[in-house]
Structure 1
Amino acid sequence: MGLVEGRRPVDLPVESRLPDLGRAAGWLNSPPLDAADLRGEVVLVEFWTYTCINWLRTLGHVRAWAREYRDQGLVVIGVHTPEFPFEADADNVRRAVERLGVDHPVALDPGRTLWEAFGNRYWPAFYLADVDGRVRHHRFGEDHLDETEDAIRHLLRDAGRHPAGDERVPVAPIGIEAPADWAHLGSPETYLGWARGERFASPGGAALDRSRTYVEPEHLRLHEWAFVGEWVVARRASVLTGATGTLIVRFHARDLHLVMAPRGAPVPFRVLLDGRAPGDAHGLDVDAAGHGTLAEPRLHHLIRAPGAVEDRVLEITFLAPGAETYVLTFG
């Protein structure tokens, strides 16, 4: 339930003080900020990592809050704590910030120093502090966005600021930021490294940390995935070592995304949906014929299927070696 405007919410306990953000390894969009810089401001700290689809689906709201309430005394700070090794590279984060239109301050946390200081465990995670630096509201995940905005407005009013109007900031996310089709989403996040991998269906199972040639199973059940070609299934990712290779997954969702990175030169790929070119079901990183290029380490949007959600089979064939594949996510 969202907070009621003009009433002091009972679910915003004084839990702790905002940890010192001066421990960040670096900053984007801002000089370094510490407790003295933030004194007297309402501060929203959001933990994120740039390949996380759950965070991406909150970005439109966070961007809107940062811009709408900046003049009323809200400071939004994104703490970028990486999940995958390439996300610890500051240049990769900088490119993501520019590509995604993140213009509020970003604290870089490659060693998880701030993550541990906050006792955080999730992406995205929101911590909202009042003008005295007390954490008054925290939420995890992509739900509760309206509740968080109501908390922002409440704390600004508590501080004698006056957010314009009585309504929340209108947000209409599109593209990768659009909400998931929660009513029909059936497939779980699927990691492709051996540390967290589940439901791998290539005959003979995975040969851990060594190159092996895989073949397609005779039947792929819902949520299962498999490789064709020569791959190394490593701890965090599976890497194509053969000249070409295919990842196959049976899924139930409107959207399918794949976090992947090139190991060296860009890698061209082709996507098929149920054995055919995706047509109008193609995602943002694929054309109607299914063609795309893996040129940078990030989340790639492969499928957004119109119409009724049903069980589908995706095949992504890489046409050169060096594709590192990390996780499949759905929406």
Structure 2
Amino acid sequence: MIFMQKWIWQLAIVMIAGIFLFAAFDAISAGANKEGKTGAEPSQYGLPPASAGAGGKDSGMDEKESEAFNPKSLMYQKAPEFESYAGVINDQNGDDFLSSSELKGKVVLVDIWTYSCINCIRTLPYIQAWHEKYADSGLVIVGVHSPEFEFEKKRENIEDAAKRNNLTYPTIIDNDRKIWNAFKNSYWPRKYLIDADGYIRYDHIGEGGYDETERQIQSLLKELNPDIKSEMANVSAEGVDFSQIQTPELYFGSSFRRVPLGNQKAPILESIAQNYTLPGLLAPNIIYLEGEWKNNGETMELASNEGAIEINYGSQSVHLVAESARGSTASAFLGEELHIGPEANGQGEIAIGGSRLYRIVKTDEYARNSLKIKIKGAGFKAYAFTFG
């Protein structure tokens, strides 16, 4: 009994000493933040170094010791550094790595996206609005363009997409997905919010959650400046009701295809033209082809001068990721009626050229429809359907 009491008192003394020691280091860390002393050497990769905002050299602790006693390390992960990538657009430093002076002591929003993804495209007006509203308050937005298809690796295509979507914040060209992998990401789009000390404090997968994300931005900015106003950014953006979308994203090429074509050939031959004919009845949410087409892995390419794509889908809008090096036209029919979509001319023709997402159909209501896209011009390549 006496031994047990002695043991309990010894344990209590050790615990009390530990609490005081933790509090002492917490006070050191908080004081360094309060005084604005990062004390860290500039990071060549851009993200705040491990000791930023946590004492650094001025605290008398090295980086490992400072990191070990930062209470945030018990709750949050450090953001990975921006290492090798293909280049940067919309940055004052050109293709050089983002300088640490741009990010040190800042709140950083990392947006991983790719330009032919409709889910990404619909988030961009919000991200640009946050850049315009909060850049002067300490927010730095960094787009990370991690491609899905090969054509999305071309710098000129990414630059065109940034201009088309009116983006003015820096975007890293992450062609080898090194940043994507460093964040252990698996989704487009994906947003990570990083505080001034370099810790990931919030992340969001996919579309939506815009108010929540903006509140998180404001919360982290208020850690730097309590006077940050709580008014939300004014954003004009396309809305979507996901509960009304009955058709998932569908891929054409055999390398990406998750379900077979409705009139798929057997065996599937690579880069060899095969003739496709439409059946009498179409199963829902399945792609059907008409004419001569070649399977190129990522795409199905029209080999004949004319062809068609048909699908029974359920949504309000239909988008097609496509390209045509020689120039082709696409005309959409809902049932037997010509549909004048968002990108069609007065005759209902959509000019297909550069590699991007084309807006084929937009109706007033969510509904199930039979869509036939008549294509003129050999060399037309289809990558994927997306719906909204």
TM over 0.5: yes
Please say if residues 313 and 369 of structure 2, whose CA atoms lie closer than 8 Å, have aligned partners that are also in contact: yes
Matched, 1:230 2:292: yes
Paired position in structure 2 for 1:270: 331
Give 1:326's aligned residue.
383
Aligned mates of 1:104, 1:276 — CA distance in 2? 42
1:101 aligns with 2:166: yes
Q: For structure 1, which runs of at least 5 residues remain unmatched after alignment? A: 1-11
Corresponding letter in the other structure for 1:304: K
Q: Give 2:232's aligned residue.
A: 168
Render the CA deviation track for 1:167-214: whole Å, top value 9, x for unaligned: 3212121xxxx1223232111111111133215212655733131000
**Residue 110 of structure 2 is aligned to residue 50 of structure 1:** no
- Whole-angstrom CA distance in 2 between matches of 1:19 and 1:203: 44
How has the CA–CA distance of structure 1 residues 123 and 203 changed in structure 2, closer, same or farther, with 3 Å as cutoff?
A: closer
- Residue 5 of structure 1 corresponds to which residue in structure 2? none
* Distance in 1 (alpha carbons) for counterparts of 2:345 and 2:328: 15
The structure 1 residue matched to 2:78, chosen from 12, 17, 30, is 17
Q: Which of 179, 185, 188 is equivalent to 2:248?
A: 188
**CA distance in 2: counterparts of 1:206 and 1:318, whole angstroms:** 25
> Post-superposition shift, 1:100?
1.1
One-letter code aligned to 2:85: A
> Are the aligned partners of 1:46 and 1:79 in contact in 2 as well (CA < 8 Å)?
yes
Give the corresponding residue for 1:6.
Answer: none
Q: Secondary structure at the match of 2:243?
A: coil
Counterpart amino acid of residue 160 in structure 1:
N
Amino acid at match of 1:316: I
Which of 141, 144, 158 is matched with 1:76 structurally?
A: 141
Unaligned 5+ segments in structure 2 are 1-72
Alignment partner of 1:242: what SS?
A: coil
Query: In structure 2, how many angstroms separate the alpha carbons of the residues matched to 1:37 and 1:230?
Result: 53
- Provide the C-alpha distance between the structure 2 equivalents of 1:190 and 1:155, rounded to a whole number of angstroms: 38
- Identify the structure with the greater helix proportion: 2
CA shift at 1:273, angstroms?
1.4
CA radius of gyration, larger in: 2
SS in 2 for 1:93: helix
| 8 Å contact from structure 2 (residues 110, 141) kept in 1 | yes
Deviations 1:1-43 (A, max 9, x none): xxxxxxxxxxx98432222224232000002314453111000
More relative contact order in 1 or in 2 (CA 8 Å, sep 6+)?
A: 1
In structure 1, how many angstroms separate the alpha carbons of the residues matched to 2:364 and 2:289?
27
Aligned AA for 2:232?
R
State the shift of 1:130 in Å: 0.6
- Which residue is equivalent to 2:217? 152
d(CA) in 1 for partners of 2:267, 2:345: 31
Corresponding residue SS for 1:47: strand
Which deviates more, 119-128 or 15-24?
A: 15-24
Distance (Å, rounded) in 2 between the aligned partners of 1:236 and 1:249: 19
CA contact (8 A) 2:144 2:174 kept: yes
Size of the aligned set, in residue pairs, is 310
1:194 maps to amino acid: S
Distance of 1:111 and 1:186 partners within structure 2: 33
Give me the TM-score of the superposition, normalised by structure 2: 0.76
Q: Which amino acid aligns with 2:344?
A: V
Supply the distance in 1 between the matched residues of 2:74 and 2:260 (Cα, whole angstroms).
Answer: 42
For the aligned residue pairs, the C-alpha RMSD in angstroms reads 1.8
* Per-residue Cα deviation, 1:297-328 (whole angstroms, up to 9, x for no partner): 10000111113x22211111221101110110
Give the 3-state SS of the residue equivalent to 1:58 in structure 2: helix
